[in-house]
Amino acid sequence: MTKDVRVRFAPSPTGYLHVGGARTALFNWLFARKHGGKFILRIEDTDLVRSDDRMVTQILDSMKWLGLDWDEGPFYQSQRFSLYNAAIEKLLAEGKAYYCFCDAEKLKEMREAARKRGGSFQYDRRCLNLGQDEIERLLKQNVPKAVRFLVPEAKPKVHDAVHGDIAFDSKNIGDFVIKKADGSPTYQLAVVVDDHDMGITHVIRGDDHYNNIPKQTMIYEALGYTAPQFAHVPLILAESRAKLSKRNAAVAVSDYRESGFMPEAVANFLALLGWSPGDNREIMSKAELIEAFSLGSISKANAVFDVKKLEWMNGQYIRLLSPDELFERAKPLLVDAGLLSEKSADDKKEWIKNILVILQERVRKLGDYPSAAGYFFTCDFDYDERGVRKQFTNPQAANVLEMLGGRFESSADFSLESIESTIRGLADELEIKASKVIHPARLACTGRTVGPSLFHLIEILGKDRTVERLQKAAAFVKRLV
β-partners of residue 231 are 204
Active site residues: 246
DSSP-assigned letters across all residues of 333-387: HHHHTTSS-HHHHHHTHHHHHHHHHHTTTT-SSGGGHHHHHHHHH-S--PPPHHH
* Residue among 4, 71, 2, 7 at smallest CA distance from 202: 7
The residue ranges of DSSP E strands in 20-110, in sequence order, are: 38-43, 72-76, 97-100
Are the C-beta atoms of residues 179 and 138 closer than 8 Å to each other? no
SS3 100: strand
- Looking at residue 211, its amino acid is N
The residue ranges of DSSP E strands in 56-121, in sequence order, are: 72-76, 97-100
Query: What backbone torsions phi and psi does residue 243 show, to the nearest 5 degrees?
Result: -60, 135
Let me know how many helices (H) and strands (E) the chain has, helices first.
Answer: 21, 12
Q: What is the dihedral of CA 203, 204, 210, 212, to 10 degrees?
A: -30
Is the peptide bond preceding residue 13 cis, with omega within 30 degrees of 0? no
Are the C-beta atoms of residues 231 and 204 closer than 8 Å to each other? yes
SS3 124: coil
